[in-house]
Amino acid sequence: MNRAAVAAAVTVAFLLLATGAFGAPAPQGAISGAVQNLTGGKAKAVGGQTVTLTIYVNNAEVDKKTATTDARGAFTFAVPADPARTYLVNVKYKGGDYDSPQVTFKVGEIAKQVTMRVYEPTTDASVLRVNIQHMIVEPGEGLVQITELLVFANPTDRTYVGAKVREDGKRETLQFRLPDGAANVSYLEGLMECCVFAAPGGFLDTMDVKPGTREIGFNYTIPYARGQATVLRTLDYPTDAVEVFGGPAAQLTVAPLVGQAPVATEQGTYSRFSGQSLARGTQITLGLSGLPVPKSSSRRLLIAAFAGVIAAALVYPLLRRRTRPAGQTPATREDLIKAIAALDDLHEAGGIVDADYRRQRARYKHRLLELTTAARPTEEPRPDRAGQSP
């Protein structure tokens, strides 16, 4: 048994022991905090603001509470300090949607503090740019699958909320034009099916873009015939860097990018092309030739092979989700144990920075705790509609 498997087994044992305490009545606790506006550089209290608390048990939404901040921006919720429950604080401020991290009580804890940081809105799309856009090109049986991974940047102190309001009240924010013939679109990291809508020539998102960075991932297929294909991808935003990787099963050219040294992986040697400082509207032309009828391959292994090339903070969430629809996570404890082991191996190999490693591992452990708890009898009501994990 390797080190990662041992660590995962210890994690499971800890969680099983922890759930033994859940049978006792939970003491009364409190989740308190403040809403602060950070636009302008100095935190300012936001009074009179509605704050919503959503309560989850066994990953199912069971209740909601609301409170209104006082003149200092403060709020408090009285809740059971139950380790079996997960809490999420949400603030909707001037078109921006702000969630807290998951809030849970450990055994013996009765108080939690949450600071909700919000920003003034902007509808100026020119504040957005893409720090880096990766494209991974994989030949398949009569299809080419292209996975795109982007890191958006909003360097301002305002949340971009989009100017156009849809009939459903949501605002259009990010827009993506896909190549002609694109089909089988899957939404990966940073996109949620509740908030993504088809649009002429591609799709659009309605989630805001807060100051800092936001990671986006999606993939699609392009059909080909007679062993060759030409794919035209127009950049949707000003982009600092574009990296394209081509699988070993075909020859790839990419204009106007420049060829780099090939990347050797366990799945073969991949061609690599790079470009910098590309304007919105730049057309990337992918030329593929010598396309065979390929053997089936694992996209998860392929992306893992690039862990040392693509930023792990973007790649590993894609590994975690694979082809599942956005908003879902590994469905079983076995999947989560494997995910923890794989994450440990990636961290040991230097493929993910410490902060991202700790955050992802904590998320997996918490979900594993929820699934372990769900396997035990509970007296909590279970509504028909499962709540989305915060």
* pLDDT for 350: 56
DSSP for 152-172 reads EEE-SSSEE--SPBPTTSPBP
- What does the pLDDT read at residue 324? 39
Residue 266: its pLDDT value, please?
A: 79
In this predicted structure, the answer to whether residue 302 has a pLDDT above a threshold of 60 is no
Q: What share of the chain is helix, strand, coil (3-state, %, to 5)?
A: 20, 40, 40
Identify which of 110, 303, 154 has the alpha carbon closest to the alpha carbon of residue 217: 303
With a cut of 70, say whether residue 135 has pLDDT above it.
yes
CB atoms within 10 A of CB 79: 21
Amino acid code (one letter) for 257: L
Measured CA to CA, the distance from residue 62 to residue 385 in angstroms comes to 9
Q: What are the structural domains, with CATH classification, of the chain?
A: 27-121 (2.60.40.1120), 125-321 (2.60.40)
pTM over 0.75? The answer is: no
* Across 184-201, average pLDDT: 94
Residues paired with 326 in a beta bridge: none
Q: Indicate whether 314 pLDDT > 60.
A: no
Please check the confidence at residue 17 and state whether its pLDDT lies above 50.
Answer: no
pLDDT at 1 over 60: no
Task: Tell me what percent of the residues of the chain surpass a pLDDT of 70.
Answer: 71
pLDDT (0 to 100) of residue 333: 67
Confidence of residue 268 (pLDDT cuts 50, 70, 90): confident
As a whole number of angstroms, the distance between CA 390 and CA 25 comes to 25
In which band, very low, low, confident or very high, does the pLDDT at 374 lie, cut at 50, 70 and 90? low
Find the mean pLDDT for residues 198-224: 96
What's the confidence (pLDDT) of residue 5?
54
Phi then psi for 3, rounded to 5 degrees?
-60, -40
State the average pLDDT for the chain. 82
pLDDT top residue among 218 and 387 = 218
Range of lowest pLDDT (15-29, 192-206, 242-256): 15-29
